Structure 1
């Protein structure tokens, strides 16, 4: 379904995830990715979400960042998306997390659904991404910074 989501988001050529990579991320020795799969009454998967913990320095605690939420076209409008988001909201409440956040493409018709559950866009924040060659170039600078050095945190 991750590849179905990439196709829906008009970015199929950018999705290189393998079953093995996903399995390791979810079930490996130190998982940092979590997921839920929604199934229909026949047990067939109809939607999924992948998420990870975030941390708010202002709130002083964890939250959840929803990386992906996808409901197959035949199951849209059935409450599956609401069920998935409600499960994450319940985790937040149970664990004392303060936030459930996600980003979406500006053309995604799910905006109406998100507004219907009282989610709101976060104004004045612009997502940035560093990847590929630019990421590697910056990583090469990890040992020099005007005389400053890094102290281990954990």
Structure 2
């Protein structure tokens, strides 16, 4: 049985390999300073970014999720952006990803949010198989402008 709970400072050594694997999957890298800042933000109860960690029966960290709420122009309640979701490759397909999304959805309901949304790469077929079961593909295309 997978257990999921909010990330705390003591989880850093278990969170870090999952975070680095997530960045590697997306062919990205961040400085050690940015990684440290990200973890500090997630584990700071006064910061608006939240995180949770999934552990298997043996206590091994097998997944992470990060999210935050933001105001929206199209609804009374906020929207919740699920920014990062990663499940260890050896446990994919076993319900961990669904459970982590459920954690964010439950949090969003408790925050009176109007919706939870996220982005993924179009060729991320493994994740999209799950996403197509738990959410609606809106058909939107993502654009961005990087700022220095």
TM-score range, shorter chain: 0.7 to 0.9
Question: CA 1:17–1:35 in 2, change beyond 3 Å: closer, same or farther?
Answer: farther
Structure showing greater Rg: 1
Whether 1:126 aligns to 2:148 is no
CA change 1:17–1:102 in 2 (3 A) is: farther
Q: CA deviation at 1:65?
A: 0.3
Aligned pair count reads 129
Query: How big is the shift at 1:29?
Result: 7.3
**Partner of residue 76, structure 2:** 60
Gap regions ≥5 residues in structure 1: 133-154
1:16 maps to which of 31, 42, 62: 31
* In 1, Cα distance between equivalents of 2:61 and 2:20: 14
* Structure 1 position 90, deviation (Å): 1.1
Could you say which residue in structure 2 is the equivalent of 1:32? 48
Q: Normalising to structure 1: TM-score of the pair?
A: 0.75
- Deviation at residue 60 of structure 1 after TM alignment: 2.2
Q: Is the 8 A contact 2:76 2:114 kept in 1?
A: no
Counterpart residue number, 2:130:
113
2:109 is paired with a residue whose SS is: helix
Which residue does the alignment assign to 1:147?
Answer: none
User: 1:129, 1:60 → 2: CA distance?
Assistant: 28
* Structure 1 residues 121 and 16: alpha-carbon distance in aligned structure 2, compared to 1, 3 A threshold: farther
Q: What RMSD over aligned residues (CA atoms) do the two structures have, in Å?
A: 1.8
Q: 2:94 aligned with 1:78, yes or no? A: yes
CA contact (8 A) 2:87 2:97 kept: yes
Higher relative helix content:
2
Moved more, 119-128 or 48-57: 119-128
Normalising by the residue count of structure 2, what TM-score does the alignment of the two structures yield? 0.78
Q: Is the 8 A contact 2:81 2:118 kept in 1?
A: yes
